[in-house]
């Protein structure tokens, strides 16, 4: 049994990770400031004596003795990370410094939830880990993209300078139950709009692409990465290489929910990447990992979750 700290533990991915680690027999501490996370996501875990909940902001130092740290604290949806961009940068940068300082002091392993956003609006397709990216440093997404890029820089430097045992994963668009119904990300938006019979809002002409990974596949990749030898730091792409246009996603959600909702077009936000698809050769080689859940199967579970949520709200 290990003692594991999950920052951002009350968020979408973090809550699934806490649950999975508890089920695997570990002691888990969730640290969260509840900016985008919710107690509702972890309330079902609170009876477990091996689960602890801490309200804390990662921009402030935190001390604890653990074997492993998963650093997930950071708003992930564009509307949330753009709400207070300075805070987003602080969360990424000071959060990384605080958690790396902790890992250094207690000699724990630490995994950083980085992102495909480090590739920006990519000129290389699909994206391989050796691609340096194409990011606008002063655009509306930069607080998140550049924050996460500095996060990777800090992780690498703590590793080289202080021998901290680091792991960096670059997560591609992930979806599933417990996404916030109003967080503005495309999968949750389309499903909630479809279930409410509201217009489906496609930004731009819908020809931009994304590759959607179901959350369980991400957890498998994440945990496998944490388990690799200390020499292997990443960064490593964790995503589903099945690529869809946003229009294809809208059509799938309409067909699967049987909604009467109509598609409407809204302006494409600035710096919105036109395409995104991971090259996962490295994950296949180093982790013997690849995603197993097809988009339809994942959407089915996610639609069922939102149906239940809307029924009870």
- Which spans of this chain sit near ligand UDP (rule: CB under 6 A)? 77-78, 173, 185-186, 189, 201-203, 208, 210, 246, 268-269, 272
- The partner in contact with residue 51, picked from ligand NAD, ligand UDP, none with C-beta cut-offs of 5 to 8 angstroms by kind, is none
Catalytic, 144? Answer: yes
Nearer to ligand UDP, 38 or 272 (CB): 272
Taking contact as CB under 6 A, which single stretch among the options 56-64, 158-166, 227-235, 246-254 is the one that binds ligand NAD?
56-64
Scan residues 85-144 and list those touching ligand NAD (CB under 6 A). 91, 95, 113, 115
- The partner in contact with residue 113, picked from ligand NAD, ligand UDP, none with C-beta cut-offs of 5 to 8 angstroms by kind, is ligand NAD
Q: How many residues does the chain have?
A: 313
Give min distance, CB of 93 to ligand UDP, in A: 19
Nearer to ligand UDP, 45 or 280 (CB): 280
Q: Which of 144, 158, 175, 214 is catalytic?
A: 144
Nearer to ligand NAD, 58 or 295 (CB): 58
Q: Does 223 participate in binding ligand NAD (rule CB under 6 A)?
A: no
Phi, psi (5° rounding) for residue 21?
-65, -35
Nearer to ligand NAD, 12 or 190 (CB): 12
- C-alpha–C-alpha distance, residues 14 and 171, integer Å: 13
**Catalytic residue positions, numbered:** 144
């Amino acid at each position: 049994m290990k003692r594991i700290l999950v920052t951002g533990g009350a968020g979408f991915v973090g809550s699934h990770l806490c649950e999975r680690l508890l089920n695997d027999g570990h002691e888990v501490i969730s640290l969260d400031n509840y900016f985008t996370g919710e107690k509702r996501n972890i309330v079902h875990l609170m009876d477990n004596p091996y689960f602890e909940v801490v309200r804390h902001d990662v921009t402030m130092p935190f001390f604890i003795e653990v074997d492993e740290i998963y650093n997930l604290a950071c708003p992930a949806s564009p509307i949330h990370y753009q709400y207070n961009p300075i805070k987003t940068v602080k969360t990424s940068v000071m959060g990384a410094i605080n958690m790396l300082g902790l890992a250094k002091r207690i000699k724990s392993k630490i995994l950083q939830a980085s992102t495909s956003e480090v590739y920006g609006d990519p000129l290389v397709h699909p994206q391989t880990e050796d691609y340096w990216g194409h990011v606008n440093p002063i655009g509306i997404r930069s607080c998140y993209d550049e924050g996460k890029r500095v996060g990777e820089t800090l992780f690498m430097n703590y590793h080289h300078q202080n021998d901290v045992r680091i792991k960096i994963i670059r997560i591609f668009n992930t979806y599933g139950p417990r996404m916030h119904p109003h967080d503005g990300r495309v999968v949750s938006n389309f499903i909630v709009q479809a279930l409410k019979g509201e217009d489906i809002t496609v930004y731009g002409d819908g020809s931009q692409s994304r590759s959607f990974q179901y959350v369980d596949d991400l957890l498998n990749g994440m945990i496998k990465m944490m388990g690799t030898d200390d020499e292997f730091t990443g960064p490593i792409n964790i995503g589903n290489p099945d690529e869809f246009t946003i229009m294809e996603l809208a059509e799938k959600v309409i067909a699967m929910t049987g909604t009467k909702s109509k598609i409407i077009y809204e302006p494409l936000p600035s710096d919105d990447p036109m395409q995104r698809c991971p090259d996962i050769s490295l994950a296949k080689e180093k982790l013997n990992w690849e995603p197993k859940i097809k988009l339809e199967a994942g959407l089915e579970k996610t639609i069922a979750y939102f149906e239940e949520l809307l029924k009870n709200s």
